Chains A and B, each alone.
Chain A
Amino acid sequence: MGRIADAFENARNEKRAALVIYLCAGDPDLSTTVDLVVAAAEAGADVIELGVPFSDPTADGPAIQRAAERSLRAGTTLSKVLDTVRLIRGRTAVPILLFGYYNPILAYGEQKLANDAADSGADGFLVVDLPPEESASLRGPAIEKGLDFVPLVAPTSNEARISQAADAATSFIYYVSMTGVTGSQAVDLAGASERAGVLQRELGRPVAIGFGVKTKDDVATVAPHVEGVVVGSAVVRTIEDAASPDEAVASVRELVSELAQGLARQ
């Protein structure tokens, strides 16, 4: 079992949901990313989704788009993100899920990426624009290297697609709470959480909910129903609003501690 599955099991044993925190690598710069990951882990993040920036992030709302733009302007590449994972591994064992879009992965080379990601100490991949039909060429090498592959399920996914996702999953399934882009408002989180909870029971696999989860109260709404909660845009906005990298690290630490207080499942 990998580190990601361990983190979910650990949370389960503590009768709480696992907290998954998204950070865009290289926002504002890669050395701050190391500090941000360490701070988030210390404050209670169970898994880090480390965003690999892409020029055309069609599934993301404005907050994460801007983060990707800042990161790319600062010169971030996939290869530098892997170097950053190595630096992070010197300071924390928090599981790291590389999160992004397919084209930078294709350009890097899928087999080479699986090798290098495993070598760097990363734990898996979640690729937004790589549905199960297109994913074999990355999923195969990833699994061979002991890395996780996390599929997405959307509110529009039908039964056949849900079971396809469940078959592709190696640790948890990412449940998109709504039709929309990351960071959107006005989500029926309670309804989405119930549906995700039903799915989790049916599939017998951990499900994490993401998209539109922003506050401790949101986390508390979701946590009783599923084994994982993902917070992204709210964290990214906190970094954007900070006056300095040090302030960003302090603010993220504070936000994650607060979010972690909403994780109780009973």
Chain B
Amino acid sequence: MRYVPRLMQPPEPASGRYGPYGGRYVAETLMPALDELTRAYQESQRDPAFQAELDTLLHQYAGRATPTYFAARLTEEIGPRIWLKREDLCHTGAHKVNNTLGQILLAKRMGKTRIIAETGAGQHGVATATACALMGLPCEVYMGAEDVRRQAPNVRRMELLGAQVHSVTSGSSTLKDAMNEALRDWVTNVRTTHYCVGSVAGPHPYPAIVRDFQAIIGQEARAQMLEQAGKLPDAVVACVGGGSNAMGIFSGFIDDESVRLIGVEAAGEGIETGRHAAPLCAGGVGVLHGAKSYVLQTPDGQIVEAHSISAGLDYPGVGPEHAWLKDTGRATYVSVTDDAALDAFQQLCRTEGIIPALETSHAFAYLPTLAKELGPDDDILVCLSGRGDKDLETVLEKLEERG
């Protein structure tokens, strides 16, 4: 098996398959809406006016292009040269806004009058609420009750932005359950409502749409590395929950075979404890939320709860294109524990004056391991997917527990 880069493929197959993964496993009620969304998206891609409007928003509103920054003091501690793609500097503090500006613009074009979204850490919820405020559309966000608790600042932000936040108490009260509730809302209100999915997960065409809207991360980063480092990076590292920031930055380098692509999953309390959120590293093939991919499940096919200190990674599934990148060997997936992520969080604060999101901290936590395989003349590009202000309470609580 060899991964066929997207740019070399004919238009995305109608089935939305990445090898055996992806597809559309949803209720019949939603199938026509997915067809409609696919058509509208393809038309928007061919429409220069749509592209121009999105480019303007990304530039003037979201603050793109984001810089690629050489992290000198972190480099001293790690070894190989470390470069940071600063998605934390995007408006709303994470890469999520790249996708929501695109999708809400698309929803308006489709004549939808209501937007729903799921959120874990709250970053996608905030980014959706932001885009809806900007474009004057009502927004309702489903968020697990557990996440409402641990990401309280983001709940307040969404409410200030005019969104209604629904606290979801079914199942594990986290991201998976929020997505279940969002799907139930969508199946009920599908004629008027656009479901703004936040990751490269879900039924086709969502994994393709979200990847394409996030691909700007990789496009910019590739050009910036060539200009600033004078070469491509030797490795690109990103955290993977559903996998949107990783897919975004990977897509810029997929055709560059010399560039290693490394996705870092959340090992939670340790893979061996079973309390983790690492379906690519320690799960099996299954179907969740409309797509076939790797999932955490029992031998009987029941989805099991994920565990991670990071609400944004606390999800038992992963985008189907990552599953295919893994199987083909084009990308490698590893995992780091809650503790390692906390250490990396503090290290970046201390060395670079940057407070990263706990999600993002997982990518940094893998750098010491990766550094052992690389030399001082090698370059690592890390996707700094979001800022960590929202996580202060969780981090301080955990550090206190550790003593």
Contact = CB atoms under 8 A, between A and B. Distances in A.
Interface string B163-198: 000000011000010001001100111110000000
A153 B32 CA distance: 11
A78 B297 CA distance: 14
Contacts of B292: 106
Interface string A47-70: 000000011111101000100000
B302 interface: yes
B7 interface: no
Nearest to A108: B301
A133 interface: yes
A103 B297 contact: yes
Contact of B303 (A55, A79, A151): A55
B191 A156 contact: yes
A56 B144 CA distance: 14
Interface size class of A (residues with CB under 8 A): 35 or more
Interface of A: 54-59, 61, 65, 72, 77-79, 102-108, 128-131, 133-134, 151-158, 161, 165, 176, 179-181, 184
B303 A56 contact: yes
Contacts of B170: 65
Contacts, number: 118
Contacts of A79: 300
A78 B303 contact: no
Contact of A128 (B23, B27, B33): B27
Contact of B187 (A107, A130, A153, A179): A179
Given A104-B302, A156-B33, A179-B187, A134 B27 contact: no
A202 B285 CA distance: 40
B300 A131 contact: no
Contacts of B303: 55-56, 103
Nearest to A77: B300
Contacts of B30: 156
B287 A179 contact: no
Given A78-B301, A107-B299, A59 B287 contact: no
Contacts of A59: 27, 184, 187
B326 interface: no
B187 A103 contact: no
A232 B285 CA distance: 31
B25 A157 contact: no
Interface in B126-143: none
Given A58-B180, A58-B184, A152 B301 contact: no
Contact of A153 (B28, B171, B189, B297): B28
Given A72-B302, A77-B300, A181-B184, A102 B287 contact: yes
B290 A129 contact: yes
Given A58-B184, A131-B31, 10 more contacts: A59-B187, A78-B300, A103-B303, A106-B301, A129-B290, A131-B28, A151-B28, A153-B28, A154-B28, A184-B188
Top 8 nearest A-B pairs (CB, nearest first) are A107-B301, A104-B301, A154-B29, A58-B183, A152-B28, A180-B188, A55-B302, A77-B300
A184 B188 CA distance: 9
A122 to B, nearest CB: 17
B113 interface: no
A131 B187 CA distance: 14
A104 B303 CA distance: 9
Contacts of B290: 129
A207 B304 CA distance: 36
Nearest to A165: B28
Interface of B: 15, 23-33, 170-171, 176, 180, 183-184, 187-191, 285-290, 292, 295, 297, 299-304
B158 to A, nearest CB: 23
Contacts of A102: 25, 287
Contacts of A57: 180
Given A103-B287, A128-B27, A181-B187, A56 B297 contact: no
A26 B276 CA distance: 29
A56 B29 contact: no
Nearest to B29: A154
Contacts of B287: 102-103, 106, 129
Nearest to A151: B28
A129 B32 contact: no
Contact of A179 (B25, B171, B191): B191
6 contacts: A56-B171, A58-B187, A59-B27, A129-B26, A153-B28, A157-B31
Nearest to B183: A58
Contact of B171 (A55, A77, A128): A55
Contacts of A61: 184
A176 B29 contact: yes
A83 to B, nearest CB: 13
Nearest to A156: B32
A79 B302 CA distance: 13
A243 B210 CA distance: 49
**Most chain A CB inside 10 Å of its own CB: which residue of B26, B31, B286, B288:** B31
Contacts of B301: 54, 78, 103-108
A168 to B, nearest CB: 11
**Most chain A CB inside 10 Å of its own CB: which residue of B24, B29, B183, B285:** B29
Contacts of B286: 103, 106-107
Contacts of A157: 28-29, 31-32
Given A103-B288, A106-B286, A155 B25 contact: no
